[in-house]
């Protein structure tokens, strides 16, 4: 179950389409398992970005549940309303405090697939 709590904001930069984010943070609560369900992650990412960038809520799709382990990285996709262009979104668990999971969100400025650093 997802429970929203306050949101933190790191450095943000708006670019073409308004979706490049140098960094922002979101929080979610985990239930009995040590993972946040993929739909909850997608919803939290979409609403956080929309609220912080004052944009309509985008479509965000994540491939699986986000493990509540510091450092865990998952790559989701973002499509702005009225667009067919897909931007990769990196979601990384920054901290876990009890059942509260804090994660960092980074939207790529380049459409396509997110390329992990080598």
DSSP character string of the chain:
---------------GGG--EEEEEEEEE--SSSEE-HHHHHHHHHHHHHHHHT-PPPEEE-SS-EE-STT-EEEEEEE-TT---EEEEEEEEEEEETTEEEEEEEE-SSSSPPPPP-
Query: pLDDT: is 5 or 60 the higher one?
Result: 60
Q: How many residues are recorded in the chain?
A: 118
- Are 35 and 65 in contact, with CB atoms under 8 Å apart? yes
Contact yes or no for 97/22 (Cβ under 8 A): no
DSSP classification of residue 16: G
The tens digit of pLDDT for each residue in 57-113 reads 999 999 999 999 999 999 999 999 999 999 999 999 999 888 888 989 999 888 886
pTM beyond cutoff 0.75: no
Instruction: Report the pLDDT value the prediction gives residue 112, as an integer from 0 to 100.
Output: 84
Closest to 91 in 3D by CA, of 67, 117, 110: 67
pLDDT at 76: 95
């Amino acid at each position: 179950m997802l429970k929203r709590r306050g949101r933190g904001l790191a450095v943000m930069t708006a670019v073409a389409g308004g979706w490049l984010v140098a960094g922002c943070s979101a929080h979610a609560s985990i239930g009995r398992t040590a993972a946040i369900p993929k739909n909850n992650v997608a919803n939290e990412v979409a609403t956080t970005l929309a609220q912080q960038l004052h944009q309509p809520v985008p479509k965000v799709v994540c491939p699986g549940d986000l493990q509540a382990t510091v450092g865990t990285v998952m790559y989701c996709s973002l499509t702005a309303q009225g667009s067919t262009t897909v931007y990769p979104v990196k979601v990384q668990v920054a901290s876990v405090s009890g059942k509260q999971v804090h994660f960092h969100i980074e939207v790529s400025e380049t459409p396509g697939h997110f390329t992990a650093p080598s």
